[in-house]
Every structure is written in C-alpha cells, then in structure tokens.
Amino acid sequence: MITLNHYLVVSGILFSLGLAGVIARRNILIIYMCLEMMLSAGNLALVAFSRFRVTDGLPDYTAQSLVFFTITVAAAEVAVGLAIIVALFRTKQSVDVEAVTKLQG
C-alpha cells in the first residue's frame, strides 16, 4: 500500500540528488538542470500533501495552486537564467563555474 510517507521519501531523494549535482558539478548548465530537479521535488511533496489532506471529500487545491505558481516562476527563472548563462559564455567562452572568479577575493 502506497502511503504519503512513500511520496515524501521519493521527493526527499530527488531533492538530494539535485543538491548533490549543484555541489559536485562544475558545468553551469548542469547545475541549472539540478536546480530544476530540486524545484520539482518540492512540487511532488506539495501535491502529495494536497492529495492526502482531503477537505470536504476533495483534495486541498490550495497546495496545487502553489504548485501552479511554482511552475510558472520556474519557467520565468529558466528564461532569465539561460540568458545570463549565454551572456557569460559570450565573455568567457566557457561554461565552467571556475572560469568566473572575478569577484573572488
């Protein structure tokens, strides 16, 4: 029997995978993809909570509205972030995070 616990554990593992990628990888594009993965893991937890908190016989649609807004904000964030990455690539000719050291003390 699949309980809320199962979904939360899956969400936690997906978030951890994304976090590991953000810390360990040096390609800025892959770091960005891992950020998207972490956002999706958060969405999974929200949708699971919404389904198992049954109010008046229906799922709690407040949580699903929040997921809707998260997806919208993530789409906007990807557009702006990729534009910044392209601008970075134009000046540095590299997508390695270690190529950007200008602000390093």
Checking phi first, is residue 56 left (phi over 0); if not, alpha (psi -120 to 50) or beta?
left
Question: Shortest gap between Cβ of 103 and other proteins (angstroms)?
Answer: 19
Binding mask 61-80 for other proteins (x = CB under 8 A): xx-xx-xxx-xxxxxxxxxx
Handedness of CA 84, 90, 91, 97 (dihedral sign): positive
91 binds other proteins (CB under 8 A): no
Q: Which of 42, 58, 91, 103 contacts other proteins by CB under 8 A?
A: 58
Query: Tokens 């702006």 correspond to what residue?
Result: 80
12 binds other proteins (CB under 8 A): yes
35 binds other proteins (CB under 8 A): no
Alpha carbon distance 14, 36 (integer Å): 11
Give whichever of 2 and 103 is closer to other proteins, judged by the CB atom.
2
* CB 22 within 8 Å of CB 34: yes
99 binds other proteins (CB under 8 A): no
84 binds other proteins (CB under 8 A): yes
